[in-house]
Amino acid sequence: MKLRALLFAGLCVIAGQAQAGLFSDEEAHIKIQQLEARISTLEEKLQETSKQQTQAMLDLQSQIELQNTELRKLRGQNEELVHNLQDAGKRQKDFYVDLDTRMRHFETIAATTPPAAPVAPQPAKAPDTPPAEDGPALENRAYEAAYGLSKAGSHQQAISAFQEFLKKFPESVHIPHVHYQMGSAYFALKDYKSALGSYQLLIRNYSYSPSVPDALFGIADCQQALGNKAGANKALTHIITKYPGSEMADKAKKRLKTIK
């Protein structure tokens, strides 16, 4: 009887230990599941945070690119204004130099001419011919006349007038514009090689002129008309590189898409 009691007690102890071990395994499994759930939650939050940071970086980069574009545009406008001011300054300087030269000429004549003997007053007589125009006025009128012919579509006559202008006024501030207008007139007459020469002369000798971007675009038109796509692409790329953000650069980009 004692042996049986001892065996029964031992079995009870073994059964209790087995139940205790089973309970511990289930509790550990639950804790593992809870940890996995927390890890998944943290991973989701981390992914969401990463997405937000990436989007913020993209937004910041877009803003920087937009500001850079605006800056390039402002630089192009500023460069154009500087060229215009230089052009106006040179025109004004030429005017005052011419005025000073004429004043000195008259002063010299007045100083070297002896006083004339008094004469009886004569009745006023209307002049037979109008007084001659001064240098700047004559120069401006000649340019406007040639430009008017070009605008009216008389391109061959305009070219002749511009050529005559170059002979009479080789130091005029209008020279860069004359070469550009001649190029445009030649292009209208489909004389693309002569137009190309006029544009290239302007860019080579008057790189400071505000007409340079337009001349480069004219070169692209000529090269395209002559079947030289590489030359046209080169001229358009030069505009985009030298005048970033300008209206002419945007126009050049659009043209590039049509000839590639």
Instruction: Give the mean pLDDT of 189-209.
Output: 94
Q: Residue 126: which pLDDT band, with cuts at 50, 70 and 90?
A: very low
| Residues with Cβ within 8 Å of residue 171, at least 6 apart in sequence | 94
Let me know if residue 51 belongs to a domain. Answer: yes
**How many helices (DSSP H) and strands (DSSP E) are in the chain?**
8, 0
Q: Which domain holds residue 242?
A: 136-259
Six token digits for residue 8: 């029964």
Let me know if residue 243 belongs to a domain. Answer: yes
Question: Do 176 and 218 fall into the same domain?
Answer: yes
Query: Is the Cβ–Cβ distance between 162 and 181 less than 8 Å?
Result: yes
Let me know if residue 123 belongs to a domain. Answer: no
Q: What is the pLDDT of residue 53?
A: 86
The Cβ of residue 233 has, within 10 Å, a number of other Cβ atoms equal to: 18
∠ CA 112-118-122, nearest 5°, is 115
Q: What is the pLDDT of residue 130?
A: 42
Q: What is the pLDDT of residue 9?
A: 56
Q: Report the CATH number at residue 244.
A: 1.25.40.10
Number of domains in the chain: 2
- With 90 as the cut, is the pLDDT of residue 198 above it? yes
Q: Residue 17: which pLDDT band, with cuts at 50, 70 and 90?
A: low
Which one is predicted more confidently, 92 or 217? 217
Question: Do 149 and 94 fall into the same domain?
Answer: no
Question: Do 55 and 103 fall into the same domain?
Answer: yes
- Average pLDDT taken over every residue of the chain: 78
Place of tokens 């130091």: 171
- With 80 as the cut, is the pLDDT of residue 120 above it? no
Question: Do 253 and 142 fall into the same domain?
Answer: yes
Let me know if residue 129 belongs to a domain. Answer: no
Question: Do 44 and 151 fall into the same domain?
Answer: no
Place of tokens 């004559």: 138
- With 50 as the cut, is the pLDDT of residue 237 above it? yes
Q: Residue 6: which pLDDT band, with cuts at 50, 70 and 90?
A: low
Let me know if residue 117 belongs to a domain. Answer: no
